[in-house]
Each structure stands twice: as structure tokens, then as C-alpha cells.
Amino acid sequence: GAGVSQSPRYKVTKRGQDVALRCDPISGHVSLYWYRQALGQGPEFLTYFNYEAQQDKSGLPNDRFSAERPEGSISTLTIQRTEQRDSAMYRCASSSRADQPQHFGDGTRLSIL
Amino acid sequence: QQPVQSPQAVILREGEDAVINCSSSKALYSVHWYRQKHGEAPVFLMILLKGGEQKGHEKISASFNEKKQQSSLYLTASQLSYSGTYFCGTEEAAAGNKLTFGGGTRVLVKP
């Protein structure tokens, strides 16, 4: 596609449920990044991949959060046993390679009840 | 530790100029600038690599002083379309392509 595509756009779930957020990067982009953005704040780094290899996961808040990109294209961010504090906008970005501009998707708005 | 942006907000009349600053306590490899409009994704403006180069995008330009670990974004002859929140994202030396974003500067351009 023309841009980074994320799904779902909105996700409302009950506390304790698992959620999976999907990111489809710009075709051919090697690097893929996950961020979390609170209202009125800048994006907060979570993790990133080059091809299928997870290069840095230092921003993942705890072990309930995980991400994968098994075939070096689509990526999934999974949050297990969700908590209310996980509510946020989750954004994905991709770049053609590691030293190039990152292009953001429209995000998934996650609300935990 | 995230970079510090100043000012936090600025109101301009169309045609006026403004400067947004981004300062880090860490040695930097590059600085990325983004603009985000309400309810939308951040949009890439420009990257500055260490070397003090200045880049431009429309009438928006930026500079990067790696010795001072600072970058500045210059909005010249502002247009209504420049309204939004501007974020700097810093890439630390030897930290890969991981960006740390500042808290943002809200810019409102009035007619």
C-alpha cells in the first residue's frame, strides 16, 4: 500500500484480555518500529525490527508486551493480560532502512475497561 | 531521558517567524523533526545528521549543533498550514535507529 497500515483503528477490551495489534509497513521497508503515544505527548519507543530480527526491545514496559515480525513484513504487537494503564495510541512506523526517515501509521487507539 | 523542547507553545500571526528548540543531554547522531496535526499521524519533515548542516522543507529549515547537542527548527513566513505540534526525535550515537521524542511544541498560526 501507499502508507503504513495499522489495524484495528480502535480496540476496546476488558482488563485481563489479550490484544494483538497489527502493522503492515510500506512495501519494501526494511525497518519497522513500534511506539506508544499518550495524549499530548510525543511517541515513546517500544521496539524495532530490521527485516525479521528484533533489534531493540528496551522500550517494552514489561514482559506482558511482545512483538514479532516473522517474515520481515507484517508485524504484530501483543499485550497479554491487559491493564487499564495500557490504554493509549499505539503507532507503527517504517523506514526503507535504518538511517532513513520513519513514516508513521494512523495508529490503533486501545482502551482497556 | 527525552530531549527538552522549547517553547511548549507559540501563537503566531500568518507571515510571522518562530524558532523551536530541541536540547538533549546525550551525544547525538541525528535529529528528526515531525509535525502532527490533531487526530493525525506525525508527518516527517527532515533529518539532520551530525555535522551542523542546515536543511529546508518549504519555508521550514533546521540546524543541528552536535557539540551542544541542540537542534533548532525555523518557521519562516508562517502559513496557516504550519499549525500543529512539532516534535523532535533524537537518535543517540551508537543507539541504532531508536528515536527518543521530546514533549512537543504546539504551534498555532492565526490569520
Find where cell 508562517 sits.
B78
Interchain CB distance below 8 Å, A55 and B96: yes
Q: Mutation test of the interface with chain B: which of A57, A58, A90, A104, choosing the one with the most B Cβ atoms within 10 A?
A: A104
Q: Cis link prior to A8 (omega < 30° from 0)?
A: yes
Minimal Cβ distance to A102: which of B99, B102, B104: B99
Q: What pLDDT score was predicted for residue B54?
A: 63
Q: What digits encode the pLDDT tens for the residues A61-88?
A: 999 999 999 999 999 999 999 999 999 9
CB proximity A104 to B under 8 Å: yes
| CB-based contact, A107 to chain B, within 8 Å | yes
Question: B50, exposed or middle or buried, with CB in 10 Å at 0-12, 13-18, 19+?
Answer: middle
A95: cell is 523506514
Q: Give the pLDDT of chain A (113 residues) as one tens digit per residue.
A: 589 999 999 999 999 999 999 999 999 999 999 999 999 999 999 999 999 999 999 999 999 999 999 999 999 999 999 999 999 999 999 999 877 899 999 999 999 99
Listing DSSP states for A11-34 in one string gives EEE-TT--EEEEEEPPTT--EEEE
The CB density around residue B46, as the number of other CB atoms within 10 Å, is: 18
- What residue in A sits closest to B101 (Cα-Cα)? A42
CA distance B82 to chain A (A): 18
- Is residue A47 within a helix (H) or strand (E), and if so which, with residue range? strand A44-50
**Residue A40: which region, alpha, beta or left (left: phi > 0; alpha: psi -120 to 50)?**
left
Distance of alpha carbon A46 from alpha carbon A60, whole angstroms = 5
- Distance CA(B83)–CA(B40), nearest Å, equals 13
What are the φ/ψ torsions at residue A49 (nearest 5 degrees)?
-125, 145
Using DSSP bridges, classify how beta strands A108-112 and B9-13 pair: parallel, antiparallel or unpaired: unpaired
